[in-house]
């Protein structure tokens, strides 16, 4: 009986290990996705020192790539920036083109849509600084916007973004303030602290707000 139980336990452990080995993770993160994104971007007609404007097809293919790589929209921007900045390339993606992908893809739920103000986004650009008034990431809206992002009401200027980007970190934010009751302060940075997760840092807030930032999925 003891021998039988040992064998049964051994089989159960092997089954669990095999399932863990072959199961497809729900979130893989930017570091894991970087080679795949770099491979895709290498196939585009990119020229150093030139601003590349993504077509509607490019935008669709990028969102499809994020779904395959199991990353969220911020992780997609992160990996594209890693490719673009050292090659002196800058990308622009039209908000209209991003919204059109929502017919087939869930971009990560209301949280992602709210933080990036997708519904009023005119366009987003990021990468190398080619002109003096550019930042690492700049987003342009139809106009100033207010939206609730769970830690409070976020007030967006018609232009917002981040002065600097580095792997897993969107830093030195501008154009965004967060208000909760009588407290109002600028958003400072977004940290991708784990695959599919992010932490919003607000000035003078004791601790960051940590969230699941869901990956792109098929509807």
In the prediction, which pLDDT does 151 show?
A: 86
Query: If we measure between CA atoms, which residue out of 82, 51, 66 comes closest to residue 168?
Result: 82
Q: What is the pLDDT of residue 20?
A: 34
Per-residue pLDDT of the chain (219 residues; tens, 9 = 90+): 454 444 444 444 344 343 333 334 689 999 999 999 999 999 999 999 999 999 999 999 999 999 999 999 999 999 999 999 999 999 999 999 999 999 999 999 999 999 999 999 999 999 999 999 999 999 999 999 999 888 889 999 999 999 999 999 999 999 999 998 889 999 999 999 999 999 999 998 888 999 999 999 999
- What is the model's pLDDT at position 25? 61
Do the beta carbons of residue 40 and residue 61 sit within 8 Å? yes
pLDDT at 9: 44
Q: At what angle do helices 73-84 and 56-69 cross, to 10 degrees?
A: 110
Strand 90-94 to strand 51-53: parallel, antiparallel, or no bridges (unpaired)? parallel
Q: Which of 181, 184, 182, 188 minimizes the C-alpha distance to 209?
A: 188
**Would you state the pLDDT for residue 149?**
87
pLDDT value, residue 134: 98
Looking at residue 206, its pLDDT comes to 80
Residue 205 confidence (pLDDT): 85
């Amino acid at each position: 009986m003891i021998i039988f139980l040992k064998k049964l336990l051994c089989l159960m452990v092997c089954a669990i290990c095999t399932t863990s080995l072959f199961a497809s993770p729900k979130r893989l993160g930017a570091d894991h996705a970087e080679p795949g994104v770099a491979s895709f971007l290498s196939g585009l007609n990119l020229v150093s020192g030139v601003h590349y404007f993504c077509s509607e097809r490019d935008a669709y293919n990028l969102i499809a790539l994020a779904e395959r790589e199991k990353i969220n929209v911020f992780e997609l921007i992160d990996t594209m920036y890693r490719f673009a900045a050292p090659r002196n390339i800058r990308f622009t993606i039209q908000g209209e083109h991003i919204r059109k992908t929502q017919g087939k893809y869930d971009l990560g739920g209301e949280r992602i849509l709210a933080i990036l103000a997708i519904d009023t986004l005119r366009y987003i650009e990021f990468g190398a600084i080619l002109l003096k008034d550019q930042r690492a990431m700049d987003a342009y809206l139809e106009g100033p916007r207010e939206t609730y992002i769970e830690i409070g009401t976020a007030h967006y200027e018609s232009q917002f973004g981040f002065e600097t980007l580095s792997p897993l970190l969107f830093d030195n934010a501008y154009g965004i303030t967060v208000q909760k009751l009588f407290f109002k302060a600028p958003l400072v940075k977004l940290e991708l602290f784990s695959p599919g997760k992010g932490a919003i840092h607000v000035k003078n807030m004791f601790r960051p707000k940590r969230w699941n930032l869901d990956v792109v999925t098929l509807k």
